[in-house]
Chains A and B, each alone.
Chain A
Amino acid sequence: MGVVVFPGSNCEGDAMEAVEVLGGEPSVLWHAEATTRSVDAVIVPGGFAHGDYLRPGAIARFSPVMAAVAEFAAEGGPVLGICNGFQVLTEAGLLPGALQKNRGLQFLCTTVALRVESRRSVLTSALEPGTVLHIPINHFEGNYTASPETLAELRSEERVILRYVDNPNGSLDDVAGICSEGRNVVGLMPHPERACHRLLGSTDGIALLRSFLDAGNQPSDLVIPARLSTSAGTPS
């Protein structure tokens, strides 16, 4: 499991701890190196990559590592963007739409209820639709927006995978998390890694991260055929 680190990332250690607790082997993918090495899945963690200057993700998308992540994703590799990582993936064009400032113009750190809308993604494959999860959010720019056409496409293709039960930030259609056409790239504003230990108040993040780890370990029919037909560079 590769965890991308930009200058200004700050949830990379948390993501690695959660992955390790679930039996994965995390390693750092440094922003300046244009490779995903031989990892079988990639997490773009939360934080403030490049200080969020200009706009969250706007500078990070140009980091050498992102070209490698895009290639990895194109080959069907599982990629998860959490919070700032979701913002980076939208800026990089790996996921549609954008994250704008919260309704209310304030940073929000609180635990919210999420409803699983689809199990057809590398993040939600182990969860029944309708399941309600309690997971913390921690963002200023988490208000999801997209063009009407994009939203219609996301809805018709069942690519809105998580919705807020009680919309905290003004997100369009209560969107909390979406996936790519190939269902192997996912982005969500809530932090599943913060909900993986009973002492921290919720363990609802485990099922999500477990699904994602499994996607890395066992290529399934969830991912696009491109990956299955690629011989060179297929993640092991």
Chain B
Amino acid sequence: MEAKLHRTLGLTDEEADDIRRILGRPPNHLELAMYAVMWSEHCSYKSSRIHLGRLPSGGPRVLVGPGENAGVVDVGDGIGAAIRIESHNHPSAIEPYQGAATGAGGILRDIFTMGARPIALMDALRVGPLDDGRSRWILEGIVSGISGYGNSVGVPTVGGEVVCDRTYTGNPLVNVACLGLLPVERLVLGRASGAGNVAVLLGSATGRDGIGGVSVLASAGFGAGTGDDDDAAKRPSVQVGDPFEEKRLIEACLALLDAGLVVGIQDLGGAGLTCAASETASRGGVGMDVDVTAVPRRETAMEPFEVMTSESQERMLAIVTPEDLDEVLALCARWEVRAAVVGRVTGAGGRLRILDGFDGPVLADVPATSLHEDAPRYDRPLAPAGPPQAPATSPPPPVDPGADLLALLMDPSWVYRQYDSQLFLNTVEGPGGDAALLRLKHPTTGRDTGRGLALTTDGNHRWCAVDSRLGTAMVVAEAVLNLACVGARPLALVDCLNFGNPEHPQVLRQLSDCIDGMAEACLALDLPVVGGNVSLYNESRGTDIDPTPVVTVLGMVDRLQRRPPGVVLVAGAVVMVLGPRSSDLGGARWAADAAGDGRAPGPLPELDLGRHQQECALVRALVNDGLLAGVHDIADGGLAVAIGELVARSGVGAHLDGIGGHGELFSEAASRVVACVAEEHVAEVLDRAAAAGVPAAVVGHTGGDRLVIEGLVDLDVAEVTAAWRDQLPLALGR
């Protein structure tokens, strides 16, 4: 009976033996359920942890590194910036609206748990091609969920990505990043301390939603991709969000922190109360008694294991002293937030005990630390090193490069117009540009520091499928160049590593190579990794997704005096390419589309991180000195998409000369931008590029109503704009 139960809960036979060894006796059902959620891949990182240590995570600006609820970076004036990214892939595949909504809700709690007010969200969305009805349903559901939750909870969504590719047809990716600000002195860590202190559960009543979310749903792949009975049966494991509850919870928690009324605070996310109680106790080196009958419930006849593992949303656990309890309860009442004493901090032994009434029978009794630190760590087999096979040859030249260019353009504004991107009056550059740019104001006084924070989110599965190590390094490099396009220098990075089944040796090889590539790039670019999330088992019908590390990089503009030039052209100016010329189609989207099977050719173009630093520094300086009238990095879709978007967004034509063929048009080689430069600044830009050791070339001029790339493309500006603007709404039938 028991053997069957632990497998149903997602534990292996060996893991069940470990639990028996730790307890010195067989676990009961409740204890087994608690270990099952805490030792799930999602909570324990058991397959990835041994690799993650290779990422550089320290630095003088880092106040809190990986392992806490969020990373925190010093951004000056006594302000800390808390940042985190998380996936909500599997819930969004099953129930797109609630999956994405609760993804946003969960990451907000991670941020205000640190004492920070959330000020910005970014979302990176990846779904199957939109000619598939289910992918359209998933994308529309995800966008509605983020819009419905994020707007209502009152945190602006300032940027993100939308990628459609067949690798995500059965397993979409929803990665949400959040930035928050706190006065450094208010920094809180999720720790319980002081025997006799009480644990107060704040927020929603607990229901049966989300039970087994981290284990059954997040830590296993999908079967058949569509309409599979087993997958549909996982729907009760998806949580349901209530943004109004979360909004009041944010205000109440920040008010409690402002008033100095909490010793420690922790959100309830994956693995629910079990995780929050054991983590706070374990980090504080204490124990905790939890009275399961004191937990407010929204359903009747809930079993203790259901209460302890429920992932009902909008809940926090605050550790407070008995003397402050009345004041805590009064403040919660003002914000109409439910508050109930559910636990007591105990000293000796560090045991987490679940009780049926504080003086009632003991239902579970385990060492608090064993739920985290004793979780298994697997050194799973890796496939042999070496770049995976990719066709080495490029497809034949395009019949009509202009038509191919149009097919690559997609304006994501249908998505981001549904998000409040401006709340808090910080958004200088919102969604749609290379990076978001926000005014940096002090989180409590509101005083404008005169500086800016920039955020970008990037990923590229095509590059990483060809070469996970170099592809990941290119993703990091692209993110840093995106920041430079709004004048920002990079401060810190958080990553969301979306991979397939780690029990497949080639997937673990991809993960390991990706971490090596990220470490190399971050070391070279002086970029600490302050937090991350690993999402594994992204597979459907036995096929793993392409490796998809997604990074969010936070940057700083030291003197925010003017709006950045943005992705525009102005008429009567010069078009320049800053950075090396390249015709290398390795990893390029055009080549993948032209190949018919969606696989990009290899190898990837060279990435010289030293030269990349020089390129970023040059672009940053030119932007901040007001020498560029428009700028756009060259990445996905190459020069073709860069100039196409510049034309479409401004309605201004361009005439380019000397582009040496379709290779140069579609190459995605790193370290390059297209810039629009007014005549009077051309000489200075060329001089400064030369001084910086960055190749720079005048490739054309702007104006008129056509986009001409000599020998390759001749299109009407209206045609370019329409193709760009209409692609997404048409695909969605809007």
Contacts and interface: CB of A to CB of B under 8 A. Distances in A.
Nearest to B452: A199
Contacts of A136: 422
Contacts of A8: 152, 154, 244, 247-248
Contacts of B421: 109
B247 A10 contact: yes
Contacts of A52: 152, 244
Interface string B411-426: 0000011111111110
A201 B424 contact: no
Contact of B336 (A7, A48, A140, A194): A7
A191 B446 CA distance: 20
Contact of A109 (B247, B417, B446): B417
A53 B151 contact: no
Contacts of A48: 151-152, 154, 243-244, 247
A194 B421 CA distance: 11
Contacts of B418: 106-109
Contacts of B424: 13-14
A109 B419 contact: yes
Interface string B50-71: 0000000000000000000000
Interface string B214-253: 0000000000000000000000000000111001100100
Nearest to B117: A13
A8 B147 CA distance: 16
A10 B154 contact: yes
Contacts of B152: 8, 48, 51-52
Contacts of B251: 7
B153 to A, nearest CB: 8
Nearest to B413: A110
Interface in B385-423: 416-423
Nearest to A9: B154
B423 A11 contact: yes
A17 B425 contact: yes
A200 B427 contact: yes
B427 to A, nearest CB: 7
B417 A194 contact: no
Contacts of B336: 7
A138 interface: yes
B124 to A, nearest CB: 19
A7 B563 contact: no
A109 B431 CA distance: 11
A197 interface: yes
Contacts of A110: 417
Given A7-B335, A197-B425, 20 more contacts: A8-B248, A10-B154, A10-B247, A13-B424, A47-B154, A48-B151, A48-B243, A48-B247, A51-B243, A53-B244, A107-B417, A107-B420, A109-B416, A136-B422, A138-B151, A140-B151, A194-B422, A199-B562, A200-B425, A200-B428
Interface of A: 7-8, 10-11, 13-14, 17-18, 47-48, 50-53, 106-110, 136, 138, 140, 191, 193-194, 196-201
Interface of B: 147-148, 151-152, 154, 242-244, 247-248, 251, 335-336, 416-425, 427-428, 439, 446, 560, 562-563
